[in-house]
Structure 1
Amino acid sequence: MSERHTILQGIEKDIQNILYRYMKTQSFTYTEREKEAEQFLVDHLSKIPYFREHPEHFGTWSIPGDPFDRAVCYGMVKGEGDDTIVFVHHNDVVEIEDFKLLKSYAFSPDELAEELMKIRDSLPKDAKKDLEEGTFLFGRGGADMKGGGSIQLALLERYSRMEHFRGNVIVIAVPDEENLSAGMRAGVELLAELKDRYKLNYKIMINSEPHQRKDFSQGIFSEGSVGKIMPFIYVRGYLSHIGKVFEGFNPLNLMSEIVRSTELNMDFSDVVGNESAPPPTWLYLKDSKKQYDVSMPLSASGCFSILTLDQSPAEVMEKVKGICVRSFDKIIGEMNESYNRFSEVAEPVAKGLPWKTKVMDFARLYEEACSAHGQRFKAEYERKLEYLSQQMKDGSINIIESNFALVEFVFDYIGDLAPRVVYGLIPPYYPNVSNLYFTDLAPEVASLSEQLDAYTTRQYGQHYTREYFYTGISDLSYTSIKDGAKTLDSLKNSMPLFGDFYRIPVEAIEKIAMPCMNIGPWGKDFHKLTERVCKEDLYERTPRIINKAVSLLLENPLLTE
């Protein structure tokens, strides 16, 4: 039998064997246990004959300054020529709190299925059906996304056995995707280094995140990934006793208006073709009071998430500023109206209220403190930033709390006590990417979705539709970036924590810039007790679809079954 016809024979068992061992590594995101997945990958690759012969083609790439000493793991089959395909997957998983008494089975698919059968009547109808039919594999990380990672690893090993392999294939496995994507941001720099060392021509990056189906008879290829940006709002009020409300400015009043004006506001939602980003939603909201008293709070703070298809950080922040200004104007108008009515029946405390609309970004607030206190402020600010960064690494404070602690610190150096709104950004930032935005897309990449759909229709009687954006947020966001220098300036100006703690390697992203596609198995209920992945997709369809993509892009006929 020829090599052409044996390349994928029996790969189902390989994928299952890898996945069952991979899932056993309880690599909870932003914990030291992510190192378990890293060690598994190094051990797995080191046992493959190709990598024993070429130890320089696999290893780890450390994440600089990482609190858990995590690293990106990679393996490369170096064939003939420069054309290269990159596979990427993340190896961190979310916690298993919702498993309750089933926690000990969360990483063992067969045992978990047996236990779930005992409580199947309490499961959602769709999950119960999939469990009883045995068509889906249950377990934490099986869908999101060690299933896709196991497919990539199994394919890499098969390619490593081939003589005269045309092209190159790299697998990178990254930690921290469920948190700040520290792994992928480091992975980009690894790919830039490999590009220089081996003179590689990156054709495409293929992620294997699970896809969700709108129509159960159709799969989905994603030719890009949604962006994510997280604006923060800090409202500084003016204290007063609740019996003297017109002598103060309650920040909760203004913050409430800003929240009402932004939550699910479709003005923030990009539309590209027939795809639309979901509208924004608030993730955090809090006032500054630490105990009860009869004064209004001095400040209120919060942040919300915006998903983007085309907007830049600068464009988003201009919209945020506009809403803050309009909200401030509206609240002052309403306060003056209330005060005038109050003055008709009570002796007024003044001829009119003193409040004026004052809205600024964090950069302007920082400059105001610098102007007032110069080098003393700058030195104290750097010490505060270093202290907060260490607290975040220790896990004693989260990134949102740290951001607002820094804003509060700057206000200690501000002499003007008048109410104001300060806005900015909290990490992480995910650029929106799509093959739509490449003006010189190679024909074989531009037509890849159509060619793969023709393949799946012929091979499985199943269509795969194309979407331009994977909306689940993914590490594909770092495959390219539009207007990198402008984006970097926007982040530096708007993001207090940008710098040593959080950064975007814009130069490296621009260096490795490549099209991308998500080709992953059908999955359901990510991050839930009933997380599961379709076995037919996992073991049969998806590996063959990805292999077909590799054969088309590397023009390697030996990969065609």
Structure 2
Amino acid sequence: MGDKKDILQEIDQDIRDLLYRYIKTQSFTCTEREKEAEQFLMDHLSEIPYFKTHPKYFGTWPIPGDSFDRAVCYGMVKGTGDDTVVFVHHNDVVEVEDFKLLKSYAFSPDELEQELYKIKDSLPKDAKKDLEEGTFLFGRGTADMKGGGSIQLALLQRYSEIKDFKGNVIVIAVPDEENLSAGMRAAVKLLAELKETYHLNYKIMINSEPHQRKDFTKGIFSEGSVGKVMPFVYVRGYLSHIGKVFEGFNPLNLMSEIVRNTELNMDFSDVVGKESAPPPTWLYLKDSKKQYDVSMPLSASGCFSILTLNQTPAEVMEKVEHVCTQAFCKVLDEMNESYARFCQVAEPVAKELPWNVRVMDFHSLCEEAAAAYGDTFRGHYQKKVAHLSQSMREGTINLIESNFALVEFVFDYIEDLSPRVVYGLIPPYYPNVSNLYFDRLDESVKNLADDLDDYTWKNYGQHYTKEYFYTGISDLSYTSIREGSKTLEALENSMPLLGEFYSIPVAEIEQISMPCMNIGPWGKDFHKLTERVCKEDLFQRTPRILNKAVSLILDDPSLVQDDGLSQKGELI
């Protein structure tokens, strides 16, 4: 294909062939099988004539210290000029436990469709309808998100066949999106390296995560992605026998109050324009008792998830501190009231209860331990961090368990045994990003959603609405960061596991900083047995929308000449 005529001709078959081979790689998150997707991608790219001629333009970028030896895969079509469009998708998928007896068909869409027909009456109404109409392709990874990845790969190959291609296009395929985004955090460093080596001007990063439709007649373009923080709360109590409850402090009492005052609390939810982040919800809650006895537990710990549109980690921590302080005050008031009533009919244990409100962040707790034990504490602390990091890499302990093991370790060096609350953050951290937050956007990016909507209406009779944030959490969070040094400082003060095991490449994010957009096919029921993607979106509409986006960003209208579509979006 020396020229740009019919650049998208029969691309639907390319996408189908790619997808069917891509999903055969059962690249389950955080398993050795993630490497299968990496091998598939390297085999695919190495067979493309362009990359045979230009082998330095594709390859892998290892994730440092990764326990599964995973790597980011990339391919670049290097044309004329510096302007560059970056495509990104993740190649990991979630497990298929919910497929039960259909596990062996999960990665074979045609066979799975036949098997689902046999049980169609047991499927949800919407899934049954899509199955019977044949409008959606079922299978693990079809929607989330090897469908979008296959579109990107097919377009990259088409661009590689054009002589004197204007601009540059990079496809990045990352592992671990469904867990800690280790792949994307490594990809940021790869992009920084490519930018410096080839003097690239990153215009935009486009992800192709599937979008869900609120109105089935309208698609969605997302001009950003929600952020995510996971605050933790650790409540240290004071032991006593249940027959002497006023001699102790039950951490479950205070923790319960904190949970009730944070769960679904809209005070934690950002509102930007007409979009609102969902309120927080608790993901983990546990006391320290390992067996039954008649003493109250010494501690209770838990963590909850907050999605953000605008808030910084420091602002979230201020709210957490406020809620914990209020909860502590209320519990103490209730305890003192209960004790006063108890003393009216029983012999007092003491004149008054000795407890006071004590709430602090993790950094302050460490400073207290260091003030008491100095270099002894610091040395032992570093050894503990290294040991926990190694255990996490080996899979013998998880992030949440490691976090609280570290908090418990610090308490061994705390001499004041009175009750207190310690709060902080557990990885991962996703910055909230939106094109709204760029002071000066290139006109081609600023108008992109509207221009693409005009295109889809003209070619398909469908409108695409614009939203500022993709709410499903995505790797786009690492395309830019606001107040990077302040954010990093807040994380260093609040996140015990930041450093050896988990890090945020703030400097590199600032170096590659670019606007972003999610343009992906319509999908449904991600992570479920009935995961599926709209065939028309996958094979026809989305590749043409993405190609139109590239033509607009790289200012090359010749990429979109006659795409062979009727007004209804049907192939002629």
Alpha-carbon distance in structure 1 between the residues aligned to 2:485 and 2:515: 20
Partner SS for 2:445: helix
Structure 1 residue runs without a partner (length 5+): none
Instruction: Give the aligned CA root-mean-square deviation in angstroms.
Output: 0.8
Q: What does residue range 79-98 of structure 1 map to in structure 2 within 5 Å?
A: 79-98=79-98
- The answer for the alignment partner of 1:368 in structure 2 is 368
- The answer for the alignment partner of 1:53 in structure 2 is 53
Q: State the TM-score, normalizing by the size of structure 2.
A: 0.98
- The answer for the alignment partner of 1:106 in structure 2 is 106
Report whether the alignment pairs 1:225 with 2:221: no
Q: What does residue range 227-242 of structure 1 map to in structure 2 within 5 Å?
A: 227-242=227-242
Partner SS for 1:212: coil
- The answer for the alignment partner of 1:396 in structure 2 is 396
- The answer for the alignment partner of 1:347 in structure 2 is 347
Alpha-carbon distance in structure 2 between the residues aligned to 1:56 and 1:524: 38
The answer as to whether partners of 2:137 and 2:532 remain within 8 angstroms in 1 is yes
The answer as to whether partners of 2:138 and 2:533 remain within 8 angstroms in 1 is yes
Report whether the alignment pairs 1:287 with 2:280: no
Alpha-carbon distance in structure 2 between the residues aligned to 1:5 and 1:242: 81
- The answer for the alignment partner of 1:171 in structure 2 is 171
Alpha-carbon distance in structure 1 between the residues aligned to 2:162 and 2:274: 42
Partner SS for 1:67: coil
Alpha-carbon distance in structure 2 between the residues aligned to 1:116 and 1:378: 58
CA deviations 1:334-356 (Å, max 9, x no partner) are 00000000000000000000000
Amino acid in structure 1 at the alignment position of 2:312: S
- The Cα shift of 1:395 comes to 1.0
- The answer for the alignment partner of 1:478 in structure 2 is 478
Q: What does residue range 119-518 of structure 1 map to in structure 2 within 5 Å?
A: 119-518=119-518
- The answer for the alignment partner of 1:544 in structure 2 is 544
CA deviations 1:442-486 (Å, max 9, x no partner) are 111000000000000000000000000000000000000000000
The answer as to whether partners of 2:223 and 2:466 remain within 8 angstroms in 1 is yes
Alpha-carbon distance in structure 1 between the residues aligned to 2:500 and 2:336: 45
The answer as to whether partners of 1:26 and 1:107 remain within 8 angstroms in 2 is yes
- The Cα shift of 1:557 comes to 2.4
The answer as to whether partners of 2:3 and 2:163 remain within 8 angstroms in 1 is no
Alpha-carbon distance in structure 2 between the residues aligned to 1:448 and 1:256: 47
The answer as to whether partners of 1:145 and 1:208 remain within 8 angstroms in 2 is yes
Structure 2 residue runs without a partner (length 5+): 562-572
Alpha-carbon distance in structure 2 between the residues aligned to 1:542 and 1:209: 11
Alpha-carbon distance in structure 2 between the residues aligned to 1:5 and 1:134: 32
Amino acid in structure 1 at the alignment position of 2:505: P
- The Cα shift of 1:4 comes to 3.5
Amino acid in structure 1 at the alignment position of 2:495: M
Alpha-carbon distance in structure 2 between the residues aligned to 1:203 and 1:502: 28
- The Cα shift of 1:376 comes to 1.0
Alpha-carbon distance in structure 2 between the residues aligned to 1:229 and 1:114: 42
- The Cα shift of 1:3 comes to 3.6
Partner SS for 1:234: strand
Distance 1:122 1:357, change over 3 A: same
Partner SS for 1:440: coil
The answer as to whether partners of 1:3 and 1:558 remain within 8 angstroms in 2 is no
Amino acid in structure 1 at the alignment position of 2:360: M
Task: Out of 386-395 and 75-84, give the one that drifted further.
Answer: 386-395
The answer as to whether partners of 1:279 and 1:307 remain within 8 angstroms in 2 is yes
CA deviations 1:485-521 (Å, max 9, x no partner) are 0000000110000001000000000000000000000
Partner SS for 1:346: coil
The answer as to whether partners of 2:2 and 2:161 remain within 8 angstroms in 1 is no
Alpha-carbon distance in structure 2 between the residues aligned to 1:405 and 1:393: 16
- The answer for the alignment partner of 2:38 in structure 1 is 38
Partner SS for 1:144: coil
Amino acid in structure 2 at the alignment position of 1:212: Q
Alpha-carbon distance in structure 2 between the residues aligned to 1:358 and 1:121: 57
Partner SS for 2:357: coil
Alpha-carbon distance in structure 2 between the residues aligned to 1:556 and 1:17: 28
Partner SS for 1:306: strand
CA deviations 1:38-97 (Å, max 9, x no partner) are 000000000000000000000000001100110000000000000000000000000110
Alpha-carbon distance in structure 2 between the residues aligned to 1:232 and 1:382: 21
Amino acid in structure 1 at the alignment position of 2:542: T
Alpha-carbon distance in structure 2 between the residues aligned to 1:377 and 1:421: 21
Alpha-carbon distance in structure 1 between the residues aligned to 2:242 and 2:112: 56
- The Cα shift of 1:397 comes to 0.9
Alpha-carbon distance in structure 2 between the residues aligned to 1:116 and 1:390: 43
- The Cα shift of 1:250 comes to 0.2
Partner SS for 1:552: helix
Amino acid in structure 1 at the alignment position of 2:246: F
Partner SS for 1:4: coil
Partner SS for 1:406: helix
- The Cα shift of 1:2 comes to 9.2
The answer as to whether partners of 1:264 and 1:280 remain within 8 angstroms in 2 is yes
Alpha-carbon distance in structure 2 between the residues aligned to 1:315 and 1:557: 44
Amino acid in structure 1 at the alignment position of 2:326: R
Amino acid in structure 1 at the alignment position of 2:171: V
Task: Out of 507-516 and 387-396, give the one that drifted further.
Answer: 387-396
- The Cα shift of 1:558 comes to 2.4
Alpha-carbon distance in structure 1 between the residues aligned to 2:533 and 2:560: 26
- The answer for the alignment partner of 2:22 in structure 1 is 22
Equivalent residues, number: 561
Q: State the TM-score, normalizing by the size of structure 1.
A: 0.99
Q: How many percent identity over aligned positions? A: 78
- The Cα shift of 1:390 comes to 1.1
Alpha-carbon distance in structure 2 between the residues aligned to 1:364 and 1:4: 62
- The answer for the alignment partner of 2:570 in structure 1 is none
Partner SS for 2:376: helix
User: Following superposition, which runs of at least 4 residues in structure 1 exceed 4 angstroms of deviation?
Assistant: none
Amino acid in structure 1 at the alignment position of 2:127: A
Amino acid in structure 1 at the alignment position of 2:134: G
Alpha-carbon distance in structure 2 between the residues aligned to 1:385 and 1:391: 10
The answer as to whether partners of 1:287 and 1:301 remain within 8 angstroms in 2 is yes
Amino acid in structure 2 at the alignment position of 1:313: P
The answer as to whether partners of 1:360 and 1:422 remain within 8 angstroms in 2 is yes
Distance 1:407 1:86, change over 3 A: same
Partner SS for 2:229: strand
Partner SS for 1:301: strand
The answer as to whether partners of 1:271 and 1:277 remain within 8 angstroms in 2 is yes
